[in-house]
């Protein structure tokens, strides 16, 4: 039997190729549907801080979703890589950015918002399964933050194309599960996480 690291590497390659094969029309249609579903998530409606990401390497682009959330008065942040950790800086469509680590656009200015102050974090992924397991790009940034935040962590919501769902994500001991995933087809909640996406979750995230 192959090792989890080998299966994870093969899965990353397969799904990255699949993402790259999307036509412009397919990508646009999926991202429009994702925007509608994210905008409708109750947990985001009155959030003070919500983190997102800037898409790279074929990830679903959620700039439109973040702009809509920001128009409600929520402070939207996106990550900047600092060594082996992420810090989250305020972002809007007019924000000055630069190409940072891994070729991802990162904000230039702003005061970082602590991870645990976010109500929710929209995170990219390469693959996910119905147990809430997430396969990321391989840097482990989100897993490290989630493990350190423990019960004070934000609601973690993956964003993906529907074909990125797999039967089982090969797991490692340090992997941290998601609370939900949004695809162009649906919002998938993972009951085992104990999080209520209605925004009435009793777990403190501040």
The string of pLDDT tens digits covering residues 129-179 is 999 999 987 666 777 777 776 667 799 999 999 999 999 988 776 778 899
The per-residue pLDDT for 205 is 26
The per-residue pLDDT for 151 is 65
Rg (C-alpha) for the chain, rounded Å, is 16
The DSSP code for 178 is -
| Range in 15-24, 114-123, 191-200 the model is least confident about | 191-200
More confident residue, 71 or 205: 71
Taking the domains of the chain in order of start, what are their residue ranges?
A: 4-186
Residue 53 in contact with residue 77, Cβ under 8 Å? no
Owner of token pair 């918002």? 113
The per-residue pLDDT for 202 is 40
The per-residue pLDDT for 140 is 66
Q: Which of 69-83, 91-105, 141-155 has the highest mean pLDDT?
A: 69-83
> Can you tell me the mean pLDDT for 83-98?
88
Q: How many helical (H) and strand (E) elements, i.e. helices and strands, does the chain have? A: 5, 11
Share of the chain above pLDDT 90, in %: 57
The DSSP code for 133 is -
Q: Give the confidence band of 194 by pLDDT, cuts at 50, 70, 90.
A: low
The rounded distance, in Å, linking the Cα atoms of 134 and 143 is 9
- How would CATH label the architecture of 4-186? 3-Layer(aba) Sandwich (3.40)
Exposed e or buried b per residue across 171-204, where buried means at least 16 C-beta atoms within 10 angstroms of its C-beta: eeeebbbbbbbbbbeeebbbeebebebeeebeee
Residue 98 in contact with residue 87, Cβ under 8 Å? no
The per-residue pLDDT for 203 is 39
- Beta-carbon neighbour count of residue 112 at 10 Å? 15
| Range in 67-71, 75-79, 188-192 the model is least confident about | 188-192
Tens digit of each residue's pLDDT (9 = 90 or more) over 21-65? 999 999 999 999 999 999 999 999 999 999 999 998 899 999 999
The per-residue pLDDT for 204 is 30
């Amino acid at each position: 039997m192959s090792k989890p690291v080998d299966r994870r590497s093969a899965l990353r390659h397969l799904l990255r190729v699949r993402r790259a094969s999307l036509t412009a029309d397919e990508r646009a249609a999926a991202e429009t549907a994702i925007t509608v579903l994210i905008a409708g998530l109750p947990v985001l409606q009155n959030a003070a801080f919500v983190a997102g990401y800037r898409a790279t390497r074929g990830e679903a682009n959620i700039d439109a979703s973040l702009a809509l959330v920001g128009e409600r008065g929520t402070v939207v942040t996106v990550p900047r890589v600092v060594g082996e950790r992420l810090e989250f800086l305020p972002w809007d469509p007019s924000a000055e950015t630069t190409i940072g680590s891994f070729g991802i656009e990162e904000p230039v200015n702003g005061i970082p918002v602590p991870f645990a102050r976010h109500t929710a974090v929209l995170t990219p992924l390469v693959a996910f399964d119905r147990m809430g397991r997430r396969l990321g790009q391989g840097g482990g940034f989100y897993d490290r933050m989630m493990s350190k935040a423990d019960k004070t962590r934000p609601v973690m919501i993956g964003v993906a194309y529907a074909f990125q769902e797999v039967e089982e994500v090969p797991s490692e001991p340090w992997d941290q599960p998601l609370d939900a995933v949004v695809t162009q087809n649906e919002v998938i909640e993972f009951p085992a996480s104990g999080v209520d996406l209605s925004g009435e979750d009793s777990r403190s995230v501040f």
